[in-house]
Amino acid sequence: MRIDIITVSPELIKSPFEYSIIKRSIDKNLVEVHFHDLREYAINDYGKIDDYQFGGGAGMVLLIEPIDKCITKLKSERTYDEIIYLTPDALTLNQKTANFLSLKKNLLILCGHYKGVDHRVRELFITKEISIGDYVLSGGELGAAVLCDAIIRLIPGVLGDESSALSDSFQDNLLSPPVYTRPAEYKGLEVPKILLSGNFPKIDEWRNDQAMERTKKIRPDLLED
């Protein structure tokens, strides 16, 4: 998989890709991630990429011309399965979307900034809009990092045990069951005996029951889906 990210602040977003599972996936050539500084496509020598919004109001808006130049150049080099815009006024990212995107070959992600982008960018280029939650950040960079992490960990070979992702919360519209490790007893709190029994069919049954109960209690809306 190849992921291209267009950003006003490349240094802000690079850090999450330099550590842990994502870095290992890049080192193993399972995924390529490329960052594109929007200021390199500015409309003048002063690096102008934004302007005041028509109709008045606080906040600057990213200009359409630099974004057009950048996306057009990248599209001339490869075909993208999805061109994604990170914005709070979109459908919220969920595991189903992450699963869907993890099967793609080329993804292009545009990070919003300031008050957002000229809406014509969304009309002309964007194929999918994603929010990571009902709140507003200073830019789309952190959202893009979250999205990429959710996608990359699903690519075969990224996790040491590929079955690990299958038991994550939301994969089957259930929250994960409780997990435990050594010691078996700590400050009077004991690990459920079923987990120490070695009876794996019963353990699976217990985990399924716990996942259902936790979902009913914490996120009953998932069961409605």
56 in the Ramachandran plot: left (φ > 0), alpha (ψ -120 to 50) or beta?
Answer: left
Domains 2-152 and 167-224 equal at CATH topology level: no
- Residue 114 pLDDT level (bands cut at 50, 70, 90): confident
- Count CA atoms closer than 13 A to 222's CA, side-chain side: 20
Q: Quickly name the fold that domain 167-224 has.
A: Trp Operon Repressor; Chain A (1.10.1270)
Supply the CATH classification number for the domain 2-152: 3.40.1280.10
Q: Tell me: pLDDT of 152 over 70.
A: yes
pLDDT at 66: 98
Helix (DSSP H) and strand (DSSP E) numbers for the chain = 9, 9
Identify the band that residue 173 occupies on the pLDDT scale cut at 50, 70 and 90: confident
Enumerate residues 6+ apart whose C-beta is below 8 A from 40.
Answer: 70
Tell which wins on pLDDT, 172 or 154: 154
Q: Is the pLDDT of residue 117 over 80?
A: yes
For 39-55, letters b (16+ CB in 10 Å) and e give: eebbeeeeeebbeeeee
The average pLDDT across 201-221 equals 95
Residues 37-41: contacts with CB under 8 Å, at least 24 apart: 37/7, 37/8, 37/10, 38/6, 38/7, 38/8, 38/62, 38/66, 38/67, 38/70, 39/8, 39/66, 40/70, 41/65, 41/66, 41/67, 41/69, 41/70, 41/73
Higher pLDDT, 124 or 222: 124
Does the pLDDT of residue 161 top 80, yes or no?
A: no
Amino acid identity at 54: F
For residues 194 and 203, the answer to whether their CB atoms sit within 8 Å is yes
Q: Is the pLDDT of residue 162 over 90?
A: no
Report how far residue 176's alpha carbon sits from residue 85's, in angstroms, rounded to the nearest whole number.
29
Instruction: Report the C-alpha gap between 98 and 108 in whole angstroms.
Output: 14
How buried is residue 5: exposed, middle or buried, by Cβ count under 10 Å (0-12/13-18/19+)? buried
Alpha carbon distance 20, 158 (integer Å)? 11
| Contact yes or no for 83/3 (Cβ under 8 A) | no
In the chain, where the domains are located: 2-152, 167-224
Lowest mean pLDDT among 18-27, 91-100, 154-163: 154-163
Identify the pLDDT of residue 159: 87
Average pLDDT, whole number, for the chain?
93
**pLDDT band at residue 148 using 50, 70 and 90 as cut-offs:** very high
Burial group, residue 89, by CB count within 10 angstroms (0-12, 13-18, 19+): exposed
